Amino acid sequence: MKIALGFICSLLVSYYSFHKKSLSFDGMVASIIVGTIVFSMGSLYWYGLLLAFFASSSILSHYKKANKHQVEELYEKTGQRDATQVMANGGLGALLVIYSFFTSDPTPYMVFYLGIMATVNADTWGTELGVLSKKSPRHILNGKSLQPGESGGISIFGTLSSLLGGLFIGACAVLFLYVEAGVLDWDLIIIGGISGLLGSLVDSLLGASLQRMYKCTKCYRETEKTHHCNQRTHQIRGYRWCNNNMVNSVSSLVGGMCAWLLWKLLL
């Protein structure tokens, strides 16, 4: 029964996002799978955090969308999400739900999950809002001025947005845990904010140092995409195996580890 209900809820949410062009078709399918696993094997806390990330990121992706068109053409972080992006953001969380289902004490997994969701949400908020900043972002390693949305770039506005994204997930964790178990743990807000911010900064570091980047042979602009202006681009830096989805997965893992360490320190 819980599996069926999880499938129906995930189908409705994912189809709505597909209809609003926040998800591609394969992204919708992946979202249904992840959502069904989290709903059926988790609880309000697990599914609520996933839904909080999904809803807020979808809303922000449409906020001033006309101003993001140029960024969406060049970079993978904004706009419609496909299956690989969904799995990069939610796949690790789904695995944690499965592990926690078979353990007597799910608390460490719940904290790790908080860090993961705080990171992906912080990164999304930082990107979707950061690209709207009136000031150009700076390269996180050398301070060079970059184009909005370019991997490895940070700005004050984007960084503050990332912090708010992490705090938002932390606040949601407090709410869902209280509704579910009657436990009021305000430390989760701190854990969400710090782990989300640190995870998003790791995302920028990896984007600046390891992530592959291409250049269009027609318009000569840098892009994260293998095709631009209807032709193949050529790689100019980074490692071929390190794309934006890999960066998202690694940074979310780091965010989860940060949350777990903070939880241990605050015990």
Render pLDDT for 31-42 as a digit per residue (tens, 0 to 9): 999 999 999 999
Decide if 113 is inside a domain.
Answer: yes
The number of domains in the chain is 1
pLDDT tens digits for range 195-243: 999 999 999 999 889 998 888 877 777 777 777 777 788 888 888 888 8
How far separated are the first and last CA of the chain, in Å rounded? 37
Decide if 11 is inside a domain.
Answer: no
Decide if 13 is inside a domain.
Answer: no
Decide if 4 is inside a domain.
Answer: no
Point out which residues pair with 232 in neighbouring strands: 227
Q: Report the mean per-residue pLDDT for the chain.
A: 88
The pLDDT confidence band at residue 114, using thresholds 50, 70 and 90, is: very high
pLDDT at 79: 59
The answer, yes or no, to whether residue 68 has pLDDT greater than 60, is: no
Tokens for 5, please give them.
């209900």
Q: Which domain, by its residues, includes 124?
A: 44-266
Decide if 25 is inside a domain.
Answer: no
pLDDT at 76: 55
Burial 72-99 (b: 16+ CB within 10 A, else e): bbbbbbbbebbbbbbbbbbbbbbebbee
Tokens for 60, please give them.
């922000």
Lowest-confidence segment of 92-106, 112-126, 139-153, 164-178 by average pLDDT: 139-153
Decide if 78 is inside a domain.
Answer: yes
Decide if 23 is inside a domain.
Answer: no
Decide if 35 is inside a domain.
Answer: no
Neighbours of 245 (CB within 10 A): 18
